[in-house]
Structure 1
């Protein structure tokens, strides 16, 4: 009896690859419900198989099942979602028959909150870039050079800086490089957050955004108080 490629995709992806080499057309195969090997590989977090299906065997990354839902609707990990979107180019804004995106459906079902948060970050345009990129946006250098001519280590990742707030950051070893932040307390909180092991996780990035928003709100309140005092 011929091996079932969908079962192999779920349980034994290493055994599926030789079969795909013999029959590459299987890479785009879908069952009677439109479920594809791309869906299976994404759902079971078999990322090497997922990459091979799309990059090596030419399976469309945006294959849809009978509900017009892509593989992004069935992912259970942020890694699988990131692979589909950032590596393989799947559009996270694609909606299924119900008119919902993958983020909306996953968020409503509530089973994989980290995936929903990652996809929400994409929609808000707040997926973390590098500090170098954020600094360039604010007109500051993209790297730091010491007096000995050595270039500092690559900067850590941060989300885009909100409009109206200038943030200049280099490595955490050079506290003077954050002198342009709104106040010393904010600088301290940023540095503490950047040193945490979960800084690059969705939770860490979400907390960073909250810090930035708090700083902006604090500036706005201070300006409002100053205006009232001048008017009095």
Structure 2
């Protein structure tokens, strides 16, 4: 048997269906981790293999919050909002977990590194839904001379495509109002509308959305 056919981590990347067959024949390897704590769950999340993720947790009973040597779970390596949604809403991954390396949550790490903004925005909305403030309850630091860090080149997030019922499920009332107001504007696809969309996304990435309401309630 070749290395690729027998190495579960290679299969997790390239052939998840074959890996599932292997795991069902030998469930004991489902929670396998390499020397750095990287697991098959991390690999499935990183490569966006959603059926493999579901099987690992639901069928093979792998802990969805299994951590690597830095204390990071599979949520830290997610690259798509769909995968994050499966982990959080279906498999109940804990969005509050902080890594032991830098003390950041998955959302905070993505925001700092300007990586996968769609995932960061989704996780921020789930934080708002759960009543979780930004880092230590205050806005996270900005870069670029005090201005919000730019989104990676070519990245677009169309919050205007979000259905009203989805906004209601994911966002607090103020964030929902801003999404609906922005999406309904005639100039939404124009320069001004897109600039305001970018600002809204940047605020979500920094964990500032909803902070004004939280600060006001603490000072009243």
TM-score, normalised to structure 2, is 0.61
Rounded to whole Å, the distance in 1 between the matches of 2:85 and 2:183 is: 26
Question: Where do residues 147-162 of structure 1 align in structure 2 (5 Å cutoff)?
Answer: 156-159=165-168, 160-162=172-174
Residue 93 of structure 1 and its aligned partner are, at CA, apart by 0.6
Segments of structure 1 that go 5 or more residues without pairing to the other structure are 128-154, 168-186, 197-202, 208-212, 214-232
Deviates more, 1:39-48 or 1:113-122: 113-122
**Match 1:75 to one of 69, 78, 85:** 78
Please provide the CA RMSD for this pair: 3.4
Question: Where do residues 216-227 of structure 1 align in structure 2 (5 Å cutoff)?
Answer: none
Deviating runs (4+, > 6 A) in structure 1? 187-190
Matched, 1:55 2:55: no
Aligned twin of 1:100: 104
**Match 2:94 to one of 84, 91, 95:** 91
Residue 26 of structure 1 and its aligned partner are, at CA, apart by 1.1
Which structure has the bigger radius of gyration?
1
1:157–1:118 distance in 2 versus 1, CA, 3 Å: closer
Segments of structure 2 that go 5 or more residues without pairing to the other structure are 132-163, 190-196, 202-208, 210-220
3-state DSSP of counterpart to 1:124: helix
Number of positions where the alignment pairs a residue of Structure 1 with one of Structure 2? 155
Residue 114 of structure 1 and its aligned partner are, at CA, apart by 0.8
Residue 190 of structure 1 and its aligned partner are, at CA, apart by 6.8
Q: Which has the higher contact order (CA 8 A, sep 6+)?
A: 2
Q: Deviations over 1:119-161 (max 9, x none)?
A: 111122289xxxxxxxxxxxxxxxxxxxxxxxxxxx8433343
3-state DSSP of counterpart to 1:18: helix
Aligned twin of 2:30: 27
Residue 4 of structure 1 and its aligned partner are, at CA, apart by 0.3
**Match 1:114 to one of 118, 132, 141:** 118
1:188–1:57 distance in 2 versus 1, CA, 3 Å: closer
